[in-house]
Chain A
Amino acid sequence: MSGDGAVTLSDEEAVAIYSTMATIRAAEDRITKGLRAGELRMTFYQVRGQEAIPAAVSAHLRRDDYMVTTYRGMHDCIAKGIPLDELMAEMCGRVTGTSKGKGGPMHLSDPHSGLMVTTGVVGGGLPIACGLGLASQLRGTDQVTVVNFGDGATSIGAAHEAANLAALWNLPVLFVCQHNQYGEHTRFADYTRTERLAQRFAGYGMAAVTVDGNSVPDMYEAAGEAVRRARAGEGPTFLECLTFRLGAHAFGTGTEYIDPDELAAAEAAEPVARHRRWLIDERGVPAGTLDALEQEAADAVEAAVAAALAADPPGPDELRLDVFASVDEIPEGEVAR
């Protein structure tokens, strides 16, 4: 599929998107290296292969637009603009992290950059996105809300309640389904008879399109139209972004349930190398420019990891803070303090 994105996407924007993708890739490579070496310890849900989707979507977003994502969401967080230092510190459980080390990789949030919720519950973010969209609608702003989730989330009831409500109320929400072909360890074809998820969600009365999620120009085009529609008050869009999860469900859990030939083909079609080739071949961007961006990304990630490792863990006082606005509202009383 080749949309009009190749026409509307400027060289400058295309390179900026590549820079975001390179940062995501560098972060994943650094984390997996650290996990293998025993230098880092965290639960890590790999995003390798899905970089183009949030990089292209976020190119249309402002800082004050909202995002909700899922535990496989490091790429979404980076694309939305969470500072790398705070991101890495949170993933390492440090007090300098976005949540002072109390949320972790599955619960990243940073309202300053519009990342409002990362949920560890499949499909749990979609209803919350409706609420963010409703707040913008009630206030008469043109902010949009993007909610990211995998194809697996389309099997859970919350997703359908949210889609129905968003369509009914014409909410400014982008439902970005990162269709990576597997719901945890189960192939798409083994959990549904639906062939195109966009068809299913169109049934709720919203715009719904299927996009090559590994094509930056196509993603850029489709997301641009969806964001325009939402800002104009024309309602939600479901984007079925076809991609492939090249890593395991969670780091270290293996991919033995994926056919090796399928995996090899997906690796050959992965979006970072593909976009790099496209920039060089179609836009004449010098390879050296892209090499430099990759190096910058790796350096920034390395600095963020080093800062995280040097930072303190949260102190014991943090245990009971942030349950409620005041620690005095905890019902256990003095005994527990």
Chain B
Amino acid sequence: MTAAPETPVGTMSQAVAQALDLAMAADPSVFCLGEDIEDPTGGVMKGTKGLSTKYGRERVRNTPISEQAIIGTAIGASLVGMRPVAELMLMDFFAVAMDQVANHAAKLRYMSGGRTNVPITIRTSVGGGRQFGAQHSQSLEAWLMHVPGLKVAVPSTPADAKGLLTSCVFDDDPCVHMETMSLLFNRGPLPEGTHVVPLGVADVKRPGGDVTVVTWGWQVPEALAAAETLAAEGADVEVVDLRTLVPLDRRAILESVAKTRRLLVVHAATRFAGPGAEIAAFVGEELFGQLDGPVRRLGSAYTPVPYATELETLHYPERTRIAEAIRAMA
């Protein structure tokens, strides 16, 4: 995708700040809370840069290092009509907040028979590939997908981040917006003004007829790079960016695979019992007779994330191994 020369350009981090700015301007019930989100820091990944200066420290508020309190407070405020946007500095810290996320945010609508709902957004940075070690590098979307009641968005471009985060903030259910650290400061097209990407709608980032790669977040640019390599070898790879895992755009996956008859799922999450297992299973159920081969999966190795670059590179999928996997499917 080539941007027209006049299209504004920005980073995913700027996209996040723009989406929050527009949401707060449009709706007084939107407010932000989290660790170090006020200026001058503006969030350690700068996702709230400028917002406390513009909207005040009532609506953009620093919290103690208290992940349970951050999420619980967001839940409570949301039950009575606020639209809180909570930041969990790193996705690994979901482990600290998970009682509030899984036992409360995800379940209150159901447990109340629809009398209450939890319109919160949890923004979180996802590490990986940056030598942050085992507790600052995990892609834990499978945890969230396994708890009924949570929506999960994972943008791969600045424009998608702006659009998906806007949808999350105004959604009436709890949403997690995963902001991949290694993509946060890459520049790309970034529409001005309000930009909405609906939840549950995948995007074909590269059309192709020979094989489908279904992926999201960090691995989208890796898959696109692999596709370019293979194009030179005469293979035409379609890259489907799911953008949200819940809701899941099953139709987009099935349409692409019905056309190419081959599917590789790629994700930074652990391959074993990862999201790819669910996708492979349902594609198998729906398209069994139409596939030219078994569905393949690439994910991270079944190990804690190692520190040394030489090992971390082996841990995660990346473009050369994606290309190898696709060649092996031919």
Interface residues of A (CB under 8 A from B): 66, 68, 97-103, 107, 109-111, 116-117, 119-121, 124, 126-136, 138, 145, 157-158, 161-162, 164-165, 168-169, 321-325, 328-331, 333, 335
Contacts and interface: CB of A to CB of B under 8 A. Distances in A.
Contacts of B63: 165
B82 to A, nearest CB: 5
A158 B71 CA distance: 11
A335 B109 CA distance: 23
Interface of B: 31, 58-59, 61, 63-64, 66-69, 71-82, 84, 99-100, 103-104, 107-117, 145, 148-149, 151, 171-173, 199-200, 245-248, 250, 282, 285
Contact of A103 (B75, B113, B200, B250): B113
B58 A138 contact: yes
A107 B111 contact: yes
A158 B72 contact: yes
Contacts of A116: 76, 79-80, 116
Instruction: Please indicate which of the listed interface residues A128, A132, A136 has the most CB atoms of chain B within 10 Å of its own CB.
Output: A128
A134 B113 contact: no
Given A117-B108, A130-B72, A131-B72, A168 B117 contact: no
A29 to B, nearest CB: 27
A130 B68 CA distance: 11
A135 B76 contact: yes
B79 A161 contact: no
A128 B79 contact: yes
Contact of B148 (A126, A145, A168, A323): A323
A333 B282 contact: yes
Interface SS of chain B: helix, strand, loop or mixed? mixed
A120 B107 CA distance: 11
20 contacts: A98-B113, A98-B115, A109-B111, A116-B76, A116-B79, A119-B104, A127-B69, A127-B71, A129-B76, A130-B76, A132-B76, A134-B76, A135-B81, A161-B67, A162-B72, A164-B66, A164-B69, A323-B110, A323-B149, A324-B151
Contacts of B78: 131
Contact of A99 (B64, B69, B113, B173): B113
Nearest to A120: B103
Nearest to A171: B73
Contacts of A121: 99, 103-104
A228 to B, nearest CB: 22
A311 B229 CA distance: 65
A102 B76 contact: no
